[in-house]
Amino acid sequence: MLLVLLVLGAAGIDAGPVRAQAGGWPRTITDAAGRTTLAAQPKRIVSTTPSVTGILLAIDAPLIATAATTPGPLTDAKGFFSQWAREADRKGVKILYPNVNFDIEAVIGAKPDLVILSSTGRDSVLSHRPELEALGIPSVVVDYSTHSWQEIATELGRALGLEAEANVAVGQFEAELAQAARAIDPRGAKVSIVGYNIAGSYSVARPTSPVSLLLKALGFEIATVPPELKPNTARASDFAFFSRENLSAAITGDTVFLLRATDRDVDAFLAEPVLANHPAVLGKRVHPLGLTSFRIDPYSARQVIETVRATFAKP
């Protein structure tokens, strides 16, 4: 089996754009890690990163299995994220392994000709890539923390020979996004996107994060975190994490969108003592983005758009 390593923005690697030769197969893919030749188009793909599975489904990749996360409010009973679970079932996608606990035997048993990995996040199993290399199982590594799903779809399309499918998926979404932007009145809002008490953590989205880029496309100005306010961690992320006590200072927007949130979470945010004097709280300009907004893929992005449109629709 031909070994393929394609790295898109992996940590520690200054990955440039993927460039594949025109035409069919074999094709050569060039990235910052070098050049690799794919003998044939992948036909049996498995995803070890549920955060990217929705993108693979949207570009109609030949996905046979995906890792599942721990079942909960954000998933179906199997651990498939609710925004794309029905589509995965419709396409016959199986569980690769549960609880995003990497299982090399399950990967081998699926007999894939390509494995999708992530360089970041809880579902990253990048440390297991040497095992895949030793077995001659090809892998593609993507970074979803600072790239929009459209960018990832385009690059995966080029890598998998699904350029047309990726272009259609991205084009349809962009048309829907433009239509939604025309129907939304941002009301001059300068917004902070906040992860409030998610598994005990507090964070604010960076302007380059996928969820920030989505709201910016809808017409909102994304507020920045004061440069003098140091996050609790220096790790690379699309969110900056703070202590509960520093959260108010980190939120510089006059309006707040709450990540992975419902109206109940808004009530908790408004009742938070350390935020009592924040302008967004005093003006009750706090809005939920819905439970699926924690990871922006083609399916959750549409749900976020509808949630925002319901609140900020033009009269």
pLDDT for 27-69, tens place per residue? Answer: 766 543 345 566 789 999 999 999 999 999 999 999 999 999 9
Q: How far apart are CA 191 and CA 181, in angstroms?
A: 16
Q: Which residues contact 225 (CB under 8 A, 6 or more apart)?
A: 204, 206, 231, 240, 250, 252
Sorting pLDDT into bands at 50, 70 and 90, what band is 242? very high
CB-count exposure of residue 285 (10 Å: 0-12, 13-18, 19+): middle
Q: Which architecture, in CATH terms, is 184-312?
A: 3-Layer(aba) Sandwich (3.40)
Which residues of the chain does CATH 3.40.50.1980 include? 5-176, 184-312
Tell me the percentage of the chain whose pLDDT exceeds 90. 70
Query: Residue 309: beta bridge partners?
Result: none
Q: What is the pTM of this model?
A: 0.87
Sorting pLDDT into bands at 50, 70 and 90, what band is 12? very low
Q: Is the pLDDT of residue 196 over 80?
A: yes
Tell me the percentage of the chain whose pLDDT exceeds 70. 88
Cβ–Cβ contacts within 10 Å for residue 170, how many?
A: 20
Q: How far apart are CA 38 and CA 22, in angstroms?
A: 13
Kindly calculate the radius of gyration of the chain based on its CA atoms and give it in whole angstroms: 20
| Least confident interval from 89-93, 136-140, 182-186 | 136-140
Q: What is 5-176's CATH topology?
A: Rossmann fold (3.40.50)
| Least confident interval from 93-102, 224-233, 260-269 | 224-233
